[in-house]
Structure 1
Amino acid sequence: MITIEYNPLHSKPNNLSSLQQQIYNALEKSTTRYVYPTIKELKFELKLREKIIHAAKRMFESDAVFSSFQDSSFNSTYWRKTSNGYLLKPNQLPSTAIEDVFINSNKYGFECVTSIVLIYYKAVLDSIHKNYFNELFRPLLVWNHHFDKDLGMVTFSGYDSIPGDVVYFYNPDYETPIWMGENAVYLGEGQYFGHGIGIGTKEEMIEALNTLRKKEAKKSAYLLQQVTRLNFHYLSQFEK
């Protein structure tokens, strides 16, 4: 359910793309109450969620490979490898470095959590002023759960199936730790993207993880009842 200052919204905002309409419908049909101070902020969330989905699809189409930290790679023009992740070089802009992940993707290799963080950064970059982006996200350290606090990533219990959300498929009988599970962007219409697996349905994601279990495994992978989202409210103040 969508409310504007706790008053139900009875009509859909104007000029929404087809994907934004799909996201709006999911929010409206949800049993969770989504409260926005203004319609402008609601539209910002719709746009940012749309950008998350677009960035996820670009990641899927890219040449970035799936790899552990030991075997990982980032373009050395922009990034320096440290013991905690890849640190942006001080003479480089965060916006340029994030764009490079999608432009020169063949120079990158990372695991699924890092892919989510990079997708989020790309979506935010496409949704707010570039100058704000460079101010908010410098210095920039990327790997696994290392991300800037201004990104506002929050994980909580529950699952609303809102396109643009990030979910986690847990694989309890994994063979190697890197396949303990798969973080995936919900693309809408029952489709998910997870780096290293690709795009598929819930059942296809689980089936793929089940092929990566230890011998004589008995526990199937499954979708956890949790969801990860950005702080849309905070980021909306920097909108283009």
Structure 2
Amino acid sequence: MIILPPGEAEQMGRLRLTGVEQEILRYKQQSPVTYRYGSIGELEFELKTRSAIVEAARALHASGAKFATFKNSRCNEELWIREQNGGFRLRSGVTPAEGIRDIFRNGRAYAFECATAMVIVLYKGVLDAIGEPAFNAYFAGLFLYDWKYDSDLRIVSAMEAYPGDVLYFKNPDFNPMTPEWRGENGILLPGGTIFAHGMGIRTPDEIIALLNTRRRPGSMTSAYQTDDIETLDFAYIQRLKTVTARIGSRVYAFGW
């Protein structure tokens, strides 16, 4: 259920939405969970940003970027510095928008694991939602590594999953020879499919089946989809379009 300020609920029917955005709106309206918005503009921004994240996930899938462990990661070193831990640090003089867009334009020059892929997709969605000037102001000094991200990419837990959210599949009996397959992160797409870097665009059952091929030999313990759902704080991200950027940045770490 969606709750808007008095007099604004009737404006939902006048929003110019894509099919993806209409699907998200319909499911939120039908949900038993209450979603409160400060304005119709706040709701519209969330829908548009979720759509941008979905498009970014599809674009990364099509970019030619490969899956790799941290040890074997690679990047376009004209724009990024590859650190010893396998992470990528933006070079001085390169804007954050340039760095992120290059991953999608020159994907074959890049290889990274699935958590980094999720952060890259979220950054690209936010870039498209708030525009280049605001993105460059708030996300200076980008460092891409695992589930580490700038504090202004505010990620929070959610009760329900909608397109643009991050889901997690756990492989509890993973083969110790390939610990990178202990689990898989994925961006939920419309229709219930998922973009999982290294696996492609798959159904949840297909992701579980692929993880099961990477279990400890002889194991009968299946991988499974967890209840973890990560989403953006869309109301906060929207404010980045208008609020003066602070100087410097902090890094939050999500995950294990």
Map 1:216-231 to 2 at 5 A: 216-231=218-233
What residue ranges of structure 2 are gaps of 5+ in the alignment?
Answer: 243-256
TM-score by length of 1: 0.94
- Is the partner of 1:150 in helix, strand or coil? coil
Name the amino acid aligned to 2:80.
Answer: W
- Give yes or no for the alignment of 1:206 onto 2:208: yes
Structure 2 equivalent of residue 132 of structure 1: 134
Map 1:70-85 to 2 at 5 A: 70-84=71-85, 85=87
- Is the partner of 2:59 in helix, strand or coil? helix
Map 1:119-198 to 2 at 5 A: 119-155=121-157, 158=159, 160-175=160-175, 176-198=178-200
Q: Distance in 2 between matches of 1:232 and 1:92?
A: 26
- Is the partner of 1:154 in helix, strand or coil? strand
CA pair 8-29 structure 1, distance change in 2 beyond 3 A: farther
- Give yes or no for the alignment of 1:64 onto 2:69: no
Q: Distance in 2 between matches of 1:8 and 1:229?
A: 25
User: Runs of at least 4 residues of structure 1 off by over 4 A?
Assistant: none
Contact 1:173 1:217 in 2 (8 A): yes
Structure 1 equivalent of residue 116 of structure 2: 114
CA pair 3-105 structure 1, distance change in 2 beyond 3 A: same
- Is the partner of 2:189 in helix, strand or coil? strand
Structure 2 equivalent of residue 33 of structure 1: 34
Q: Distance in 2 between matches of 1:112 and 1:61?
A: 15
Name the amino acid aligned to 2:34.
Answer: R
Q: Percent identity?
A: 37
What root-mean-square deviation, in Å, do the aligned CA atoms of Structure 1 and Structure 2 show? 1.7
Provide Cα deviations, 1:52-99, integer angstroms capped at 9, x if missing partner: 100001111121010001000011011112245211111110000100
TM-score by length of 2: 0.88
Name the amino acid aligned to 2:33.
Answer: T
Name the amino acid aligned to 1:171.
Answer: N
Once the two structures are overlaid, the 10-residue window that deviates more, 107-116 or 78-87, is: 78-87
How far has the Cα of 1:103 moved from its partner?
Answer: 0.3
- Is the partner of 1:167 in helix, strand or coil? strand
Name the amino acid aligned to 1:52.
Answer: I
Residues matched between the structures, number? 238
What residue ranges of structure 1 are gaps of 5+ in the alignment?
Answer: none
Q: Distance in 2 between matches of 1:227 and 1:17?
A: 24
Q: Distance in 1 between matches of 2:149 and 2:6?
A: 32
Structure 2 equivalent of residue 52 of structure 1: 53
Contact 1:26 1:161 in 2 (8 A): no
